[in-house]
């Protein structure tokens, strides 16, 4: 009496985990390893709790890619770490009354254990945690390199301020005028803050996107281009009556200079304040009142596009450099202080905003480009398109493009202007007034000013949180750690203070992919020689949420490191895959929405493999997965079906497959031909479907006349086990073992298709009449066009379809198709 064994995924999981721990199939650091190198990287998680469904998708897909290249015979580096500094840790710690450190490291331990259970193919010798001093020490070192190069600097300016988080935000962290983290309305505050000079790299960050075309999602490239936002135009100098220095304005339309009828300066700019200062007391009072109102308005109000134009006349005049006209100077909040020069020439006839302002303030509108749509002064519609210059002196008769070039020449020859470009991108504000981050390695000395901490004194470790008030109050909590704060100046020895701000956590993630090369090194940030071998990252996998911020900053760091001679490449991530989100019933999962699906529950219920398989099979990886639409139970059912195939194989390992059933062998080798391309083009769902197809064929063969003893059945079952190991490592390993092999199906390799098995002797030709299918004919592969044409025209079905119509044309694509077009 034989006992029927059934598929028990939980037992299989328990069985293989310790064996894999021993086997370490994904270790990449052996110096004798002669396999070609490949670097596959998953975006590292934030340790905010245990892994969730989103992680499960991301790591399932990253694992398919990583395991695929291992199977292909590559030495794949697939490391993992934790992006463990940042506000959420701090806020959670404050809320629970815990040290952010304890909270963070508990979560890391939890996630690490979950990743092991989830069978992520990580190289556990390459692990980093950004809140470890051994890591953030190199943030500080990099900061000092940037500082030496003039790429890290401090300035006082109006910064984005989150009144709830009580910290400054980078432009990139302000979404629709709201704080990215807490959705509070962001306000402005004048503060002295540290910046990285990312604008120095704006051109390269934009232009080099072209080199990623085809390897990054076009959506991400577009978002990056959009964000950098380069505008080409000209800087034009205007003299100001009663002022020594001319004022420069940036314009993309120098061709319309003759149509300028006023000038506008940003209300919150120093120029506006200066001009108001010189004006009569009434004007000054009006300006002060206006400025007060502007300062009180927040980003939400500023961003409203249908907002009426407001402003005050400053009592001053600018002189148009091409016709010496006097242009009244106004202050308004529709001009931004930190873009261009904070001042514009207003051409209401050809700019909607200037037109709206002119209308509101009753200022003149003068058409200088005739677009054929009528005079804006009459129609009330500014015209922004191409046309012929008019009212523009020597530019008259030229088209827009010619006129722009001509005007730039003209201005340049008179020393009144030059071609110029501007970027939407601003410098990266990196200071944060929070505790849980990398301390900025600068000491402020009354005598010496800013003094960089000598490199041999790094790291500047965070003081213990004990006794510090971490609650946000607008000043860094580190300022309260007086023992830590007060140090002698490294230069002169006088009493001095450490900088008490910490770095934006995006600094941590801007170079971590290099740190994996030597995550525990105490002598260097990363090994320059090893970076030449492994980097850049061949395949990066992560969420589209990081399409702008993280990727832009990592690209910036890479270019700086390139210029400093540390790396020999300029782009960090050669290929990028953005996976979608996991939704539930159409929306993002959240506790408050009540649609949270717990990953651990899913794993308990269906098993790791079924969840991983479901993630891969749900659809194209970049699409969102609605968990309500997919069937982890179905995946589990399929895995059991695959498992039973292995159980039903009765031939011995190593049996000669050549004698096996030809039809089944053909199915197996067709699979081998088609599987790899679907994985390499990220069509994981299609790859899984093909495995299902092969399993179906095997089932049919075993239950039918072929039988489980046929060598072709073994061949097919082994191929299934190996292919399935990308998606369902436990089931695959169990199958591999049942098939009589030693553990390590992940390293077994997937053979190439035997093309001799795929040769067809005949094929089915499709006969169409006027594009519609009318007949199918079995024909030889070598059939000539003429033969096939004859066969098609003599077919009864074809004749019937043609009826009494006349044949106009016969298209023959031997041996596959004939299309008969009738009149």
Partner RNA sequence: GCCCCCAUAGCCCAAUGGCAGAGGCGGGCGACUUAAAAUCGCUACAGUGUGGGUUCGAGUCCCACUGGGGGCACCA
Within residues 537-596, the interface with RNA by CB under 7 A covers: 548
Cβ contact 630:656 at 8 Å: no
Query: Looking at 386, 703, 752, 790, which residue binds RNA (CB under 7 A)?
Result: 703
Alpha-carbon Rg of the chain, whole angstroms? 34
Question: HSE of 342 in the Cβ direction (CA atoms, 13 Å)?
Answer: 12
Q: Does 447 bind RNA (CB under 7 A)?
A: no
Which residues within the stretch 174-203 sit at the binding site for RNA (CB under 7 A)?
A: 175-176
Distance, CA of 330 to CA of 318 (rounded, Å): 10
- Closer residue to RNA (CB): 8 or 356: 356
- Closer residue to RNA (CB): 479 or 619: 619
Q: What is the DSSP letter of 464?
A: P
Which residues within the stretch 480-519 sit at the binding site for RNA (CB under 7 A)?
A: none
Count CB-CB contacts under 10 A for residue 455: 12
Q: Does 689 bind RNA (CB under 7 A)?
A: yes
Q: Does 24 bind RNA (CB under 7 A)?
A: no
Q: How far is the CB of 98 from RNA (least distance, A)?
A: 33
Query: Looking at 154, 295, 353, 359, which residue binds RNA (CB under 7 A)?
Result: 353
Contact stretch for RNA (CB under 7 A) within 408-416, 615-623, 715-723, 746-754: 615-623
Contact stretch for RNA (CB under 7 A) within 282-290, 446-454, 457-465, 694-702: 694-702
- Closer residue to RNA (CB): 85 or 287: 287
- Closer residue to RNA (CB): 35 or 700: 700
Of the candidates 573, 575, 577, which has an alpha carbon nearest to the alpha carbon of residue 616? 577
Cβ contact 754:781 at 8 Å: no
- Closer residue to RNA (CB): 535 or 639: 639
Terminal-residue alpha carbon distance, the chain: 74
Nearest-5° angle of CA 393, CA 394, CA 398?
110
Q: How far is the CB of 625 from RNA (least distance, A)?
A: 7
Distance, CA of 227 to CA of 205 (rounded, Å): 11
Query: Looking at 149, 155, 307, 805, which residue binds RNA (CB under 7 A)?
Result: 307
- Closer residue to RNA (CB): 226 or 521: 226
- H helices, E strands: number in the chain: 26, 34
Q: Does 809 bind RNA (CB under 7 A)?
A: yes
Cβ neighbourhood burial of 701 (10 Å; 0-12, 13-18, 19+): buried
Q: How far is the CB of 799 from RNA (least distance, A)?
A: 17
**Ordered DSSP codes for 325-337:** -EEEEEEETTS-T
Strand partners, 778: 764
Query: Looking at 325, 402, 570, 693, which residue binds RNA (CB under 7 A)?
Result: 693
Q: Does 295 bind RNA (CB under 7 A)?
A: no
Q: Does 475 bind RNA (CB under 7 A)?
A: no
Question: At residue 487, what are phi and psi to the nearest 5 degrees?
Answer: -140, 160
Contacts of 265 (CB under 8 A, 6+ apart): 247, 271, 272, 275, 314, 329, 330, 331, 332, 335, 342, 343, 344
Q: Does 296 bind RNA (CB under 7 A)?
A: no
Q: Is the peptide bond before 591 cis (omega within 30 degrees of 0)?
A: no
Distance, CA of 389 to CA of 599 (rounded, Å): 65
- Closer residue to RNA (CB): 282 or 796: 796
Distance, CA of 162 to CA of 155 (rounded, Å): 19
Q: How far is the CB of 252 from RNA (least distance, A)?
A: 4
Distance, CA of 523 to CA of 511 (rounded, Å): 16
Question: HSE of 85 in the Cβ direction (CA atoms, 13 Å)?
Answer: 24
Of the candidates 537, 549, 633, 544, which has an alpha carbon nearest to the alpha carbon of residue 57? 544
Distance, CA of 211 to CA of 215 (rounded, Å): 9
- Closer residue to RNA (CB): 393 or 704: 704
State the binding string over 206-235 for RNA (x if CB under 7 A, else -): ------------xx--xx--xx-x-x-x--
Q: Does 700 bind RNA (CB under 7 A)?
A: yes
- Closer residue to RNA (CB): 348 or 519: 348
Contact stretch for RNA (CB under 7 A) within 115-123, 367-375, 440-448, 627-635: 627-635
Q: How far is the CB of 234 from RNA (least distance, A)?
A: 8
Question: At residue 533, what are phi and psi to the nearest 5 degrees?
Answer: -80, -40
Q: Does 774 bind RNA (CB under 7 A)?
A: no
- Closer residue to RNA (CB): 531 or 694: 694
Of the candidates 246, 417, 422, which has an alpha carbon nearest to the alpha carbon of residue 322? 417
Q: Does 351 bind RNA (CB under 7 A)?
A: yes
Q: What is the DSSP letter of 591?
A: T
- Closer residue to RNA (CB): 686 or 757: 686
Which residues within the stretch 150-179 sit at the binding site for RNA (CB under 7 A)?
A: 175-176
Query: Looking at 637, 673, 741, 789, which residue binds RNA (CB under 7 A)?
Result: 637
Stated length of the chain: 823
Q: How far is the CB of 757 from RNA (least distance, A)?
A: 18
Question: At residue 484, what are phi and psi to the nearest 5 degrees?
Answer: -80, -40
The pairs formed by 213-218 with CB atoms below 8 angstroms and a separation of 24 or more are 215/574, 215/575, 215/576, 216/573, 216/575, 216/576, 217/544, 217/576, 217/577, 217/578, 217/622
Query: Looking at 121, 320, 768, 798, which residue binds RNA (CB under 7 A)?
Result: 768
Q: How far is the CB of 232 from RNA (least distance, A)?
A: 8
Question: HSE of 56 in the Cβ direction (CA atoms, 13 Å)?
Answer: 29
Q: Does 659 bind RNA (CB under 7 A)?
A: no
Contact stretch for RNA (CB under 7 A) within 95-103, 272-280, 338-346, 479-487: 338-346
Q: Does 683 bind RNA (CB under 7 A)?
A: yes
Which residues within the stretch 354-373 sit at the binding site for RNA (CB under 7 A)?
A: 356
How many residues touch RNA under the rule CB under 7 A: the total is: 81
- In which element (H, E) is residue 168 found? strand 167-169
Query: Looking at 92, 597, 640, 676, which residue binds RNA (CB under 7 A)?
Result: 640
Q: Does 123 bind RNA (CB under 7 A)?
A: no
Q: Does 819 bind RNA (CB under 7 A)?
A: yes
Query: Looking at 44, 553, 638, 727, which residue binds RNA (CB under 7 A)?
Result: 638
Q: Does 270 bind RNA (CB under 7 A)?
A: no
State the binding string over 405-434 for RNA (x if CB under 7 A, else -): -----------------x-x----------
Q: How far is the CB of 443 from RNA (least distance, A)?
A: 35
Query: Looking at 253, 498, 550, 559, which residue binds RNA (CB under 7 A)?
Result: 253
Nearest-5° angle of CA 9, CA 11, CA 13?
70
Q: Does 821 bind RNA (CB under 7 A)?
A: yes
Q: Does 791 bind RNA (CB under 7 A)?
A: no
């Amino acid at each position: 009496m034989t006992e029927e064994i059934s598929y028990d995924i939980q037992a299989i999981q328990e069985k293989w985990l310790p064996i894999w721990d021993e086997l370490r199939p994904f270790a990449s650091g052996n110096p004798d390893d002669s396999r070609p190198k490949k670097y596959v990287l998953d975006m590292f998680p934030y340790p905010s709790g245990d892994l969730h469904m989103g992680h499960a998708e991301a790591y399932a897909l990253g694992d398919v890619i990583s395991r695929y290249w291992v199977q292909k015979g590559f030495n794949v580096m697939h490391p993992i770490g934790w992006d463990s500094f940042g506000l959420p840790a701090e806020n959670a710690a404050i809320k629970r009354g815990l040290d952010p450190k304890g909270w963070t490291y508990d979560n890391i331990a939890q996630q690490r254990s979950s990743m092991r259970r989830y069978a992520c193919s990580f190289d556990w010798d390459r692990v980093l945690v950004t809140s470890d001093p051994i890591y953030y020490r190199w943030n500080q070192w990099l900061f000092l390199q940037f500082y030496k190069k003039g790429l890290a600097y401090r300035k006082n300016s109006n910064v984005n301020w989150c009144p709830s988080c009580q910290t400054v935000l980078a432009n990139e962290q302000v979404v629709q005028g709201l704080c990215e983290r807490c959705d509070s309305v962001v306000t402005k505050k004048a503060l002295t803050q540290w910046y990285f000079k990312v604008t120095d790299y704006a051109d390269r960050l934009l232009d080099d996107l072209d080199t990623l075309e085809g390897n990054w999602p076009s959506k991400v490239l577009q978002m990056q281009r959009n964000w950098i936002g380069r505008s080409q135009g000209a800087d034009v100098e205007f003299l100001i009556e009663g002022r020594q220095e001319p004022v420069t304005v940036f314009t993309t339309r120098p061709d319309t200079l003759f149509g300028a009828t006023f000038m506008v300066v940003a209300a919150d700019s120093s120029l506006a304040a200066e001009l108001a200062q010189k004006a009569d007391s009434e004007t000054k009072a009006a300006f002060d009142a206006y400025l007060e109102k502007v300062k009180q308005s927040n980003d939400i109000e500023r961003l409203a596009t249908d907002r009426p134009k407001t402003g005050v006349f400053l009592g001053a005049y600018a002189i148009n450099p091409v016709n010496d006209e006097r242009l009244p100077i106004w202050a308004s909040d529709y001009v931004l202080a930190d873009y261009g020069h904070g001042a514009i020439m207003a051409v209401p006839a050809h700019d909607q905003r200037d037109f709206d302002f002119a209308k509101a303030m009753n200022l003149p509108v003068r058409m200088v480009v005739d677009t054929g749509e009528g005079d804006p002064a009459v129609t009330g519609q500014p015209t922004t398109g191409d046309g012929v210059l008019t009212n523009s002196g020597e530019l008259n008769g030229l088209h827009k493009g010619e006129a722009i070039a001509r005007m730039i020449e003209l201005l340049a020859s008179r020393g009144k202007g030059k071609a110029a470009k501007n970027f939407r991108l601003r410098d990266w504000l990196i200071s944060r007034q929070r505790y849980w981050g990398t301390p900025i390695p600068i000491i402020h000395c009354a005598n010496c000013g800013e003094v960089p901490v000598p490199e041999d004194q790094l790291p500047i470790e965070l003081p213990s949180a004990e006794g510090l008030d971490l609650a946000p109050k607008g000043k860094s909590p580190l300022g309260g750690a007086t023992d830590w704060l007060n140090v002698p100046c490294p230069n002169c020895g006088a009493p001095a203070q450490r900088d008490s701000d910490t770095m934006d956590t995006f600094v941590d993630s801007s170079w971590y992919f290099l740190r994996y090369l030597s995550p525990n090194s105490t002598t260097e940030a990363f090994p320059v020689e090893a970076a030449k071998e492994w980097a850049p990252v061949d395949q990066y996998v992560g969420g589209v949420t990081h399409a702008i911020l993280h990727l832009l900053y990592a690209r910036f760091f890479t270019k700086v490191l390139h210029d400093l001679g540390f790396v020999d490449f300029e782009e960090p991530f050669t290929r990028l895959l953005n996976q979608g989100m996991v939704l539930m019933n159409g929306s993002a999962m959240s506790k408050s929405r009540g649609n949270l699906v717990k990953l651990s529950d899913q794993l308990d219920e269906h098993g790791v493999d079924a969840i991983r398989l479901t993630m891969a099979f749900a659809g194209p990886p970049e699409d969102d997965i609605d968990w309500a639409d997919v069937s982890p139970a179905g995946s589990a059912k399929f895995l059991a079906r695959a498992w039973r195939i292995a159980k039903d194989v009765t031939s011995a390992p190593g049996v000669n497959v050549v004698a096996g059933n030809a039809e089944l062998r053909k199915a197996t080798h067709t699979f081998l031909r088609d599987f790899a391309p679907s994985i390499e083009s990220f069509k994981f769902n299609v790859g899984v479907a093909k495995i299902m197809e092969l399993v179906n064929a095997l089932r049919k063969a075993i239950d039918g006349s072929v039988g489980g003893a046929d060598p072709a059945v073994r061949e097919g079952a082994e191929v299934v086990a190996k292919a399935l190991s990308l998606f369902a490592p436990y089931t695959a390993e169990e199958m591999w073992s049942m098939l009589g092999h030693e553990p390590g199906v992940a390293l077994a390799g997937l053979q190439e298709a035997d093309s001799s098995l795929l040769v067809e002797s005949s094929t089915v030709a499709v006969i169409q009449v006027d594009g519609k299918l009318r007949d199918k004919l079995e024909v030889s592969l070598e059939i000539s066009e003429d033969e096939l044409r004859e066969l098609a025209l003599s077919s009864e079905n074809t004749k019937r379809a043609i009826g009494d119509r006349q044949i106009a044309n016969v298209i023959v694509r031997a041996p596959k198709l004939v299309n008969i077009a009738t009149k």
